[in-house]
Amino acid sequence: MQSNVLTEIFLPLALAIIMLGMGLSLVVDDFKRILLYPKAILVGTLNQIILLPLAAFLVIALLGIEAELAVGMIILSACPGGPTSNLISHLAKGDTALSISLTVVSSLITVFTIPFLVNYAIVEFIPGGEQQALPVFKTIVSVLLITLIPVGIGMLVRNWKPTLAQKLDRPVKLLSGIFLFIVIAGALFKEKENMVGFFKLIGPAALLLNLLTMAVGYGTSRLTNHSLKQSLTIAIESGIQNGTLGIAIATTLLNNPAMSIPAAIYSLLMFVTSIGIIWWGNRAITD
């Protein structure tokens, strides 16, 4: 996927608007709720921050993925959660409150873990020094600017002007959807001749990572005696990644479009598997 105005300008803008929309739906009680689910938050966070990257390394080793695509898989695994997982949890009859809490926690932690995890992957899979390392401070600032700060602004608007926040909620979501569609459609159109090749290169690995992380998330939560709703939510939070952030890191911070391929392919595949999760959740959860 070639770096262009869509990925350099519209993609970060779309991500910022999406996170602003998330902030408009959050209140301080959402953070207090973290204290109500300490064990579920701990299990979900361990899955997202530790087990997810380990699963990515395992898939890379099993399928023999190399160089930029391997780093791209790690970038993807370093960007868990996001507003999409909250929506899918809601549609699947999961614990939406837990989903939001996990998204908040993972968003706070990954601001600092992303640069270190990605730089380790660059050293591991591109040892010759052909790829410049991800600048730690710049990355932290950039992720803050396009994720946490928009969330904070949205929360401030929600707190100070709840009526305005309610009015802005739908337009902001619509605008973020439009921007995201422009980015994805533009990128896919530009690379339409290469899409089949991209799927052959990374599709099996992306699908395996998606299914594996959801299975691990569900399994660990059931083993720790969480309810079906909570287990389903942790599975979704473990398997639904913030692909938009992953693409932004690869194309804007690393200036390596090839590394964005796993996140782009994964983002398409995870919506397909999400349909199955939503269907199963609605059948299995009756309350």
- Looking at residue 8, its amino acid is E
- 59 SS3 class: helix
Would you give the DSSP letter of residue 285? -
Task: Answer yes or no: are the C-beta atoms of 106 and 45 closer than 8 Å.
Answer: yes
Name the β-bridge partners of 57: none
Q: Does domain 5-281 have CATH number 1.20.1530.20?
A: yes
Encode the chain (287 residues) as per-residue pLDDT tens digits: 544 555 566 667 777 777 777 777 777 776 676 677 788 899 999 999 999 999 999 999 999 898 889 999 999 999 887 777 877 887 888 887 788 788 888 888 888 888 889 989 998 898 776 667 777 777 777 777 777 788 788 888 888 887 887 788 777 777 766 766 666 666 566 666 767 777 888 899 999 999 999 999 999 999 999 989 899 999 999 998 888 788 888 887 888 878 888 888 888 888 889 889 989 988 887 76
DSSP string, 116-156: HHHHHHHHHH-TTS-SPPPPHHHHHHHHIIIIIHHHHHHHH
Looking up tokens 């991500």 gives: 15
CA distance 242 to 74: 12
> What is the domain partition of the chain in residue ranges?
5-281
CA distance 95 to 99: 6
**Token pair belonging to 274:** 């999400």
